[in-house]
């Protein structure tokens, strides 16, 4: 029955951009925001009964060529009928903020309109990821499929390489003074042009051999430290990742936050990194003491997500 299941947002803790070039990646559901499919009430005459965005999405799914796995996976006739009956996606997930608004929508559509209702019992996460990635490509031009897979499974996922993905076991951190937080830039962004810019950078051999290698090494080190619960190495490697991104991914850092990012590196009270594609949305930060961050980030909106 439509509307019974809600799908939460997600956070890519580590792996932005480097995931495209086969680094590790670690992502987790973020249950502060959520969305679900619903039908408009007949008495709601103030809104059109047909959701234009969902209709465009359905057209994209219908017209996909050479995607037999996707075409076989979805009941397009029922989806298109339901859209005509007022189906829409009610969501509190901010769009363009890197926390999975399109991923949650794809997960919702797949959950209700998949032809094989046993596929959610499949142990082949790569198959699910491929199908969901084909769906989400409508919104970003290309998709790794990781975001909608996390939203669909509602479990943290560890990507070891492009062909190896598993459900992650996250450590249980305490309630210490420091931790990881989200910083809100209050600026939405589009993912597709930023990913295109990164791919253009990767055509430069010197960028591949120096900047990208440093990005991958710092990302993988952060993931290992985080999963092992080693706070000291995590802080150290998070700083390295912040430094690398500040140099190699500077265009992805919102201009008004570049001084704040640099201030964190210089004063070492907190460190920032991208959370997703960058360009706006949320940034991810780490600190040894949230009291210090509250003083350093006066006027900024931030939300702790892990304490240690």
pLDDT tens string 175-189: 789 999 999 999 998
User: Mapping DSSP to helix (H, G, I), strand (E, B) and coil, where does residue 287 land?
Assistant: strand
For 47-94, how does the pLDDT look when each residue is reduced to its tens digit (9 = 90+)?
567 899 999 999 999 887 656 666 678 999 999 999 999 999 999 999
Give residue-wise pLDDT tens across range 280-295: 999 999 999 999 999 9
Q: What percent of the chain lies above the pLDDT cut of 70?
A: 92
For 157-181, the pLDDT digits (tens) are: 999 988 899 999 999 887 789 999 9
Q: What sign results for the dihedral spanned by CA atoms 288, 290, 291, 292? A: positive
Which pLDDT score, from 0 to 100, does residue 195 have? Answer: 87
Q: What's the CA gap between 289 and 301, in Å, rounded?
A: 16
What's the rounded Cα separation, in Å, for the pair 147 and 15?
12
Give, in degrees to the nearest 5, the angle at Cα 146 between 140 and 151: 100
Cβ proximity of 171 and 158 under 8 Å: no
Structure pTM?
Answer: 0.90
- 8 Å CB contact between 282 and 249: no
DSSP strand pairing (157-161 vs 179-184): unpaired
User: Contact at 8 Å (CB) between 94 and 282?
Assistant: no
Residue in 273, 280, 281 with CA at minimum distance from that of residue 14: 273
Beta strand 157-161 with 25-39 is antiparallel
pLDDT at 45: 47
**DSSP H stretches of helix in the chain:** 52-63, 68-73, 76-84, 101-113, 125-140, 146-153, 191-201, 205-206, 213-228, 231-248, 258-267, 290-296
Averaged pLDDT for residues 189-198 = 88
Number of H helices, E strands in the chain: 12, 9
- φ, ψ of residue 118 in degrees (nearest 5): -95, -5
Mean pLDDT lowest among 10-19, 67-76, 185-194, 246-255: 67-76
Over 90: is that where the pLDDT of 43 sits? Answer: no
Query: For residue range 88-141, what is the model confidence (pLDDT) as tens digits?
Result: 999 999 988 989 999 999 999 999 999 876 665 555 888 889 889 999 989 887
Domain 179-307 fold is Alpha-Beta Plaits (3.30.70)
Topology of domain 7-167 in CATH is Ribosomal Protein S5; domain 2 (3.30.230)
CA distance 109 to 56: 14
- What residues does each domain of the chain span? 7-167, 179-307
Residue 142 has pLDDT above 90, yes or no: no
Residue 18's closest CA among 200, 168, 213?
213
| b/e per residue 277-289 (b: at least 16 CB within 10 A) | bbbbbbbbbbbbe
| Phi, psi for 172 (deg, rounded to 5) | -95, 105
Reply yes or no on whether the pLDDT at 200 is more than 90: yes
Q: How far apart are the first and last CA of the chain?
A: 41
């Amino acid at each position: 029955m439509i509307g019974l299941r809600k799908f939460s947002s997600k956070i890519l803790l580590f792996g932005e951009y480097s995931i495209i070039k086969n680094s590790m990646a670690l992502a987790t559901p973020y249950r502060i925001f959520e969305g679900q499919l619903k039908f408009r009430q007949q008495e709601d005459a103030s809104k059109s009964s047909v959701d234009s965005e969902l209709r465009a999405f359905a057209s994209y799914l219908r017209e996909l060529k050479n995607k037999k796995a996707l075409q076989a996976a979805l009941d397009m006739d029922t989806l298109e009928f339901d859209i005509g009956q007022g189906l829409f996606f009610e969501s509190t997930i901010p769009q363009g903020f890197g926390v999975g608004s399109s991923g949650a929508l794809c997960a919702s559509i797949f959950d209700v309109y998949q032809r094989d209702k046993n596929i959610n019992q499949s142990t082949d996460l790569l198959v699910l990821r491929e199908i969901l990635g084909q769906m989400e490509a409508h919104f970003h031009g290309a998709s790794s499929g990781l975001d909608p897979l996390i939203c669909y499974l509602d479990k943290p996922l560890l990507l070891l390489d492009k062909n190896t993905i598993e459900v992650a076991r996250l450590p249980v951190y305490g309630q210490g003074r420091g931790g990881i937080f989200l910083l809100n830039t209050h600026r939405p962004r589009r993912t597709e042009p930023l990913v295109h810019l990164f791919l253009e950078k990767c055509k430069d051999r010197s960028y591949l051999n120096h900047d990208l290698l440093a990005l991958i090494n710092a990302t993988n080190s952060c993931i290992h430290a985080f999963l092992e619960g080693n706070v000291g190495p995590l802080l150290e490697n998070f700083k390295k990742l912040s430094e690398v991104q500040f140099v190699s991914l500077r265009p992805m850092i919102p201009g008004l936050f570049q001084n704040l990012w640099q201030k964190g590196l210089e004063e070492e009270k907190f460190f920032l990194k991208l959370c997703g594609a960058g360009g706006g949305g949320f940034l991810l930060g780490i600190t040894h003491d949230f009291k210090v961050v509250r003083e350093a980030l006066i006027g900024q909106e931030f939300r702790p997500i892990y304490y240690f």
